């Protein structure tokens, strides 16, 4: 989304899960996402950036989408970290793994509990709690989030 917003031509490379174990040790911090920047100056230069927030901050700062002052940037960081916390909240963090069958539904929910019931009991309330906090934070903002410009 950010690459499209800033208008940078890019190639979206998806990794075949079967090829990931061999690729993993070659990645900085052994994780994805990875932004590979190719600078075609006098001499071609390739720079790799990992960590999703670092990638987003770089694109925001380099292409005019960061806040207009330190306070606005603090708000941007605040929301980025809050969303990160939300994705790690109990119920939410394991949901994608439960969905694809990599994590089984905890015994406490009873044997044979289906995914729908688990979602209703555990995931949805957690999502609603996190969304309410994020909504409240956004309602308290000015015209745009993090100031009067798109960030």
Ligand X SMILES: N[C@@H](CCC(=O)N[C@@H](CS)C(=O)NCC(=O)O)C(=O)O
Q: Which residue number, 52 or 126, has a Cβ lying nearer to ligand X?
A: 52
Long-range (24+ apart) CB contacts under 8 A made by 13-18 are none
Q: Which residue number, 33 or 125, has a Cβ lying nearer to ligand X?
A: 33
Structure-token match 């790799």, residue found:
48
Q: How far does CA 130 lie from the centroid of its chain?
A: 15
Q: Which residue number, 36 or 128, has a Cβ lying nearer to ligand X?
A: 36
Residue 34 CB, shortest distance to ligand X, in Å, is: 9
Q: Which residue number, 52 or 149, has a Cβ lying nearer to ligand X?
A: 52
Residue 51 CB, shortest distance to ligand X, in Å, is: 5
The rounded distance, in Å, linking the Cα atoms of 58 and 49 is: 9
Residue 113 CB, shortest distance to ligand X, in Å, is: 27
Residues that bind ligand X (CB under 6 A): 24, 31-33, 51-53
Q: How far does CA 128 lie from the centroid of its chain?
A: 18
Residue 31 CB, shortest distance to ligand X, in Å, is: 3
- Among 105, 109, 107, CA closest to 97: 105
């Amino acid at each position: 989304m950010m690459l499209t917003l800033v208008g940078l031509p890019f190639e979206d490379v998806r990794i075949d899960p079967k090829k990931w174990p061999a690729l993993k040790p070659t990645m900085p911090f052994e994780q994805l996402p990875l932004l590979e920047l190719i600078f075609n100056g006098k001499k071609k230069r390739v720079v790799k950036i990992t960590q999703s927030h670092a990638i987003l901050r770089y694109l925001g700062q380099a292409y005019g989408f960061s806040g207009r002052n330190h306070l606005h940037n603090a708000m941007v960081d605040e929301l980025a970290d809050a969303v990160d916390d939300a994705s790690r909240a109990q119920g939410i963090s394991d949901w994608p793994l439960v969905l694809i069958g990599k994590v089984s539904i905890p015994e406490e929910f009873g044997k044979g509990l289906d995914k729908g019931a688990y979602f209703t009991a555990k995931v949805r309330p957690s999502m609603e709690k996190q969304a309410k906090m994020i909504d409240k934070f956004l309602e308290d903002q000015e015209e745009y989030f993090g100031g009067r410009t798109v960030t």
